[in-house]
Amino acid sequence: MKKLKKRWIVLGIMGTFILLLWVNNTNLFTEKTGTYKLLAHRGLAQTFDISKVEADTNTAEIIYEPEHEYLENTIASMKMAFEYGADVIEFDVVRTKDSQLAVFHDIELSMITDGEGAITNYTMDELKKLDVGYGYTADGGKTFPFRGKGVGLMPELTEVLATFPDKDLLIHLQNGDLETAKILWTYLDNMSADRLAQITIYGDDDGLTYLREQNSSIRVLSRKRLESALLQYELLGWTGYIPKELNNMEIHIPLNYAKYLWGWPNKFVERMKSVNTRVVIVEGNGKWSEGFDTLESLDKIPQGFSGYVWTNRIDVISGN
């Protein structure tokens, strides 16, 4: 009888634990009528076959036959992305020789422009003379459909902030070192709290640590921070506990891996919202900025997901 009683006590404890685990992480009682928001990668840009990309690939040389006239990281491409319904625009910044921040993805200018060398060796005035459409080709270099059409289209960060004073922006510190972060802070320092809440920065951890020291609530993302925070969440999140490291962040999660997070999808998103953290899902394994770029890919998004969806083709998926 004593052994039987002990067995029932053990089973009762285990059952209670399983019940608490389920209650803490089930989506049964969460809102399932929410709608996701769209995050447009580099505005509206030319796209390419992700499967052909390696670490040293110049993607401008492997674009698909152009379906539109817009070039990444330009004011026009951002305006069009917002017109298509983007909730957030992602763009890249690189520091210049005269300590400004050029909106441009590649450290090496010859990747897409008619310039050569590192962008940090040029002043912003010099960069404005370059053609950011120069290197695009869809047929192995036989034709260059945007050559001559991108002269003067490389923006400086001030232009983006002035053009979109009330829009959510995701800024990628492309050479995200401490010096670049210090320059960026001169742009952000005088922003109101409401405006700064619309800005998210991602890049290397050194620069982001500096920005956090200037403002503890600024939303940031780095690979190192993300891995550390999610590891702690996997260990303790089943209790409903949210590690401090997950506060004031943006987290990018490949959809295939997201299902392993406690409370995924809706309860997890709700938890992150409660600590000013934005949840963004990406396609594939997350290595090469794969997006939800087709109508078919949207079918994979969980019902009621109210986070953000990364896309390279806002023109294709908007309104669906």
Predicted local confidence at residue 284, as pLDDT: 82
Unique residue bearing structure tokens 């010099």 = 126
Q: Where are the domains of the chain?
A: 39-218, 222-320
- How many beta carbons lie within 10 A of that of residue 296, not counting itself? 8
Predicted local confidence at residue 2, as pLDDT: 61
Q: In this structure, are strands 88-95 and 101-103 parallel, antiparallel, or unpaired?
A: antiparallel
The beta strands (E) that lie in 144-258 are given as 168-173, 199-202, 219-221, 250-254
Q: What is the pLDDT of residues 176-217, one digit of tens each?
A: 789 999 999 999 999 999 999 999 999 989 999 999 999 999
Is 289 buried (19+), middle (13-18) or exposed (0-12) by CB count in 10 A? middle
**With respect to CATH, is domain 39-218 assigned 3.20.20.190?**
yes
Alpha carbons 273 and 267: distance in angstroms, whole number = 10
Assess contact for 246 and 187: CB atoms under 8 A: no
Predicted local confidence at residue 287, as pLDDT: 75
Residue segments in the chain with a per-residue pLDDT below the cut of 50:
none
Predicted local confidence at residue 33, as pLDDT: 73
pTM: 0.93
Predicted local confidence at residue 21, as pLDDT: 66
